[in-house]
Amino acid sequence: MSPSIRFVPITVLCLLLAACFETFPPVSSAVVTHHQGVKPQGATQQLSPEQIASVSAWLQDHRWGWYPVTATYGPGILILATHADGTLFRINLMQKVLIVGQHQRSLSKEESRELHSMIGTKDDR
């Protein structure tokens, strides 16, 4: 096989892998609202600096496996977060899917439990 023919599949593979990689700036503050259906349940909870650091670290440690949001999801546990530069973004934590801004990622049972534990909520699985 000629070198130029080998280059094409390698290039396509690199492009596909790059589409699954996301980086998220550190979170500087965040509040959590629980939803049932589309209605908020209970009071909004401010995350502690330790919880914020844990969520930021988790997002940095899980940069692979992200895809553009492909559906409209109702809110589960909605986290309104602020980056250090003041920009706002939403994190929607559901049982099997995590949505951050316009990106989504499937969650294993362990990942879901880990995230729920970080923010002090129960995973209903």
CA-wise closest residue to 29 among 78, 76, 84: 84
DSSP letters for the chain: --HHHHHHHHHHHHHHHHHTB---PPEEEEEEEEEETTEEEEEEEEPPHHHHHHHHHHHHH--BS-EE--S----SEEEEEEETTS-EEEEEE-SSEEEETTEEEE--HHHHHHHHHHHT-----
The domain ranges of the chain are 3-119
Residue-by-residue pLDDT tens, the chain, 125 positions: 566 666 666 655 554 555 588 888 899 999 999 888 778 888 899 999 999 999 999 999 999 899 999 888 888 899 999 988 899 999 999 989 999 999 999 999 999 999 999 998 876 54
- pTM of the predicted model over 0.75: yes
